Structure 1
Amino acid sequence: MAKTAPLPQLDQLPGFSIRRLQQIAVALFLQETQAHGITPVQYAALQAVCVSPGVDQRTLAAAIGLDTSTTGGVIDRLEAKGALRRSPSEHDRRVRLLTATDEGQALARQVTPAMLRAQERILAPLPAKERKEFLRMLRVLVEANNELSRAPSSGI
């Protein structure tokens, strides 16, 4: 009987650790922002629309690295909260342009300090001098592998 290689330890696999860190990041975000009732993906969409008013849904999806159907649901929920408004494009009635309402802009401003606290908590276990290097290396991995994603990000 042929001897097989031992199975790797999960905690030694980058994919496993990245998935776990993403779970932790979401948990920290939700803890810090619970008073606002917004998810990390909703925050990303709202923030992107605040920065680029009049963006269409397809461009928004590409900017934040989501598939278009997921983005549609996110926009539905933000619209139901009164944070975003969809309006038809003057040039193509099939295209919906997104604008943050006054309430949506206020929500983004209110949530931002809590979101930043969550980011600080994610990095807190690292010594301060290593945080920038960790983020640099993380960006290298994300950018180098972006096209392999089911929803590559184009940035806004």
Structure 2
Amino acid sequence: MTTSDTPDLVDRIQQEWAQAYPELDVAPIGVLGRIQNIAAVSSGRLDRNLEAHGIGRSEYDVLGALARVDRPLRASDVVSTTLLSGASITKISDSLSRRGLLVRRKSERDGRVVLLEITDEGRRVVDAELPRRLADDEQALSRLTPVERETLAALLRKVSEAIGG
């Protein structure tokens, strides 16, 4: 028996639901329960790493959105790439601005538009955390072959599309 054949927490939860509700097909729990578990563990690790910088995951997501494009973005663009609400982006960008991690300024072309730009200090946070996060992700996927990774990504894309992601 390999470790992947060893029952895990999700197996136990799925079995308990099956016993409590034998008339229902609880098979989706085997997939989505594991996705949720992986997301929770991964997010928890990221949260612990970000504590050293005094920021949370949503703040890191905003800094990451700005670091990826290396140019100022409209607040609405950050909304679409982070899946955070407009109100959250406003609150987060205000906080990050006060701490010198990003700059908020009005667009020269349209004064109603707020542009967000990462500062050198904000980039240092991303530069410090991105390699650590990728290493954590690599460790999580280390038992999968390249073909298995591609297959898993394609399957998860289908699931994401099915739920409207």
TM-score normalized by the length of structure 2:
0.70
Identity of aligned residues (%): 24
Moved more, 21-30 or 56-65: 21-30
2:67 maps to 50
RCO comparison, higher one (Cα < 8 Å, 6+): 1
Q: Tell me, what secondary structure is at the counterpart of 1:36?
A: coil
1:29 equivalent to 2:36? Answer no
Say which of 89, 104, 111 aligns to 1:86: 104
Structure 1 residue 109 displacement after superposition: 1.0
Cα gap change, 1:86 to 1:22, in 2 (>3 Å): same
User: Could you say which residue in structure 1 is the equivalent of 2:7?
Assistant: none
Contact 1:32 1:118 in 2 (8 A): no
Rg bigger for which structure?
Answer: 2
123 and 31 in structure 1: CA distance in 2 versus 1, 3 angstrom threshold: farther
Unaligned runs of 5+ in 1: 150-156
> Which is worse superposed, 54-63 or 74-83?
74-83
How many residues align? The count is: 143
Once the two structures are superposed, the pairs formed by residues 113-124 of structure 1 within 5 Å of their partners are 113-124=131-142
Superposed CA offset, 1:42-71 (max 9, x none): 222112112332211111110222221222
Amino acid at match of 1:140: K
Structure 2 unmatched runs, 5+: 1-20
Distance verdict in 2 for CA 1:10–1:43, change over 3 Å = farther
What TM-score do you get using the length of structure 1 for normalisation? 0.74
Sort the Cα spacing of 1:137 and 1:80 in 2 relative to 1 into closer, same or farther, 3 A: farther
Amino acid in the other structure paired with 1:21 = I
Q: Distance in 2 between matches of 1:47 and 1:116?
A: 13
